[in-house]
Amino acid sequence: MARFFLTLQYDGTNSYGWQRQNNAHTTIQAAIEKAIADLVGAPVSVVGASRTDAGVHARRTAAHVDIETRLRGEELRRAIDVRLPSDVSLIALEEVAADFHCRHRALGKCYAYRVHNARHRSPLAERNAWFCPRELDVAAMRDAAKPLVGEHDFSAFATLLSDYPNKLTSQPDPERPDKPEGNVRTLHAIEILQRGHLLTFLVFGDGFLRGMVRGVVGTLIDAGLGKLTQTDVEKILVSRDRREAGANLPANGLTLEAVFYDRAEMERWLARASEAAKDERMSLPGSVSSPLELLG
């Protein structure tokens, strides 16, 4: 028996989220478990670093699995990958210590929420970006994001599994047994990148509550529409009441971009995101997002 660390990518459009379900719905976890079980001839249990919701994508996420196999390295990666459906891919695989845990060892994550902000729809963007035809004030959204950065109780932005109670602060999070307080998380940065009609909200943090990124960006969109000020966002945060914050935006705009296990790598991403947000070279108002704009 050996433990393997898996780096995965998936398009969530046609899946019912990460987590295996007791019905016929297609989920990412079930697809990976089936591929590996088909290969090794025994049922397996895959532990994921993040349980993304239905319709959410992942560019680089992680998982681990214990399996009995003589295959190693690239041979094993390919043997699993060819058994996966086309919307999931096994990017990399490496053997790790038997006590390595992909969720407990994760230092942080980067999510991207993409918004196609134009009067016209964009068939080439809509799989990975939410279409917002109303004008957004990017400076106002950047201001409104400031109170959210740092260590806070993010209950006001978490999707509850039931409607009541609205305040979960005292409940421990089963996903993070190492964390002392249920809904306290640290957001390292929220950077808003503007390229033509594409707005990308990059949200970095040590961990995220269910629905948190979509609730945070939904609240920033309200600020961009002039409905909320920076002071309002501060009040929402302090309220710890989900009913105060903006709407949860649709899943198609959300991509888990990376799970970090290396602090230096996370620092590099943070620095580059901050630099990219300042770079307005390619922001051409009124233009169709072109590959030249997107590729810098």
Which residues are at the interface with a copy of itself (CB under 8 A)? 7, 9-11, 57, 59-60, 74, 77, 81, 86-92, 112, 119-124, 126-128, 193, 195, 200, 202, 255, 257-258, 269, 272-273, 276, 279, 281-282, 288-292, 294-296
Quick one: 14 or 45, whose CB is closer to a copy of itself?
A: 14
For 8, the 3-state DSSP assignment is strand
Query: Which amino acid, 281?
Result: R
Which lies closer to a copy of itself via its Cβ, residue 74 or residue 151? 74
What pairing do the DSSP bridges indicate for beta strands 130-132 and 198-205?
unpaired
Q: How many CB atoms lie within 10 A of CB 176?
A: 18
Work out how close the CB of 282 gets to a copy of itself at its nearest, in angstroms, rounded to a whole number: 7
Cβ proximity to a copy of itself: between 180 and 296 the closer is 296
Closest distance between a copy of itself and the C-beta of residue 78, in Å? 9
What 8-state DSSP symbol labels residue 204?
A: E
Number of other residues whose CB lies within 10 A of the CB of residue 241: 12
The SS3 assignment for 228 reads: coil
- Residue 171 CB, shortest distance to a copy of itself, in Å, is 33
CB of 242 to a copy of itself, least distance (A): 28
Q: Toward a copy of itself, which CB reaches closer, 136 or 245? A: 136
Decide if 53 is catalytic: yes
For residue 114, CA distances in Å to 81, 91, 224, 265, 287 come to 28, 23, 14, 23, 17
Question: CB-wise, 111 or 208, nearer to a copy of itself?
Answer: 111
Q: How far is CA 241 from CA 52, 63, 264, in A?
A: 23, 32, 35
Active-site entry in 11, 53, 173, 206: 53
Closest CA to 6 of 95, 106, 70: 95
Shortest Cβ 100–a copy of itself spacing (Å): 20
Q: Catalytic residue numbers?
A: 53
